[in-house]
Amino acid sequence: MFDTFLDKLRHGTYITLETTPSRSAAFAPTIDKIAALGLEHLVDGFSTTDNPLAKLKYNALFAAMSLQNRFGKPVLATMSMRDRNSIALQSDLLGANEANVRAILALTGDSAHYSDQPHAKGVFEGNSKLLLDIITTLNSGTDMAEQKLLVPVREIYPFAVIDSYAKNATALQKKLSKKVAHGAIGIISQPVYDPDNARQLLEMMAEANGLSPHPQKCVLILGFFPITKLRTARFLDENVPGIHVPSAWVEALETAAAVSPEEEYRVGFELSKNLFEELKALHPKIHIMTANQFELAKAILS
């Protein structure tokens, strides 16, 4: 399973779909919805999020295991530094390894300030680079205390994330290069809304790989989040760091929204679908995020 997945990442078309577990003791309804739409036939793998915005959700590692068992396709399980110290991170990785959850998306994590749990506090023993280092260490056969593992792990595949846009391109380049240097094999960008932006990120990745001590090149995966509402475009552009929505998109959605909600959706979907096809032609390594709007994901992929 992972050999094919990695081959697609490095040499072929590689499309993954994000899933966000709910605040529930059951992940099966999400899996059933994916199956009902046949999405497992349209993507190469999935991801599971880890309590985004510090809001309580079903565990990402267990969700990843359930998805893999159901569809036989690899899943990137997100792990956040916010909620675990290095002991818990290593322990979770060891347990996940036996369950064959071995593609890990390393995040620093959103601040606990946003949490819906009133007494929650962030751990933040380190940022995502520490988790990448932990994975490298476990892959070498020892723990972070340099103690040999009684049974070594099967290889863990580390992924990371990066902003898609920054006013200071040099700062963004440095962040990207650091994550490549810490061993990420794939880096997913925040959503991209302009092919020129994607080209700039590809140039940055080429530079980061040129400076990397690792022989295997890291692969850029373009984040894609379809926009079908004017308020979403405005929110992403004005409030989410690392994302830039072109003014042409906002203006087109403003005009459409003045006509009707249906026209607003049509215009947003057309812009998003066209962008997806352009990105796929430019660099067919794309991670689709739809906030569990799986019907929209199917429409984009069909």
Q: What is the pLDDT of residues 51-72, one digit of tens each?
A: 999 999 999 999 999 999 999 9
Query: Residue 78 in contact with residue 47, Cβ under 8 Å?
Result: yes
Distance CA 25, CA 58 (A): 6
Go through the chain and tell me how many residues it has. 302
At 105-129, the pLDDT tens digits run: 999 998 988 899 999 999 999 999 9
Query: Residue 182 in contact with residue 211, Cβ under 8 Å?
Result: no
Q: DSSP of 217-246, one letter per residue?
A: PPEEEEEE----SHHHHHHHHHHSTT----
At 217-254, the pLDDT tens digits run: 999 999 999 999 999 999 999 988 899 999 999 999 99
Q: Which residue has the tokens 């675990």?
A: 84
Distance CA 238, CA 241 (A): 8
Distance CA 50, CA 61 (A): 8
Q: What is the CATH number of domain 2-301?
A: 3.20.20.220
| Residue ranges per structural domain of the chain | 2-301
Distance CA 286, CA 223 (A): 6
Residue 21 binned pLDDT confidence (cut-offs 50, 70, 90) = very high
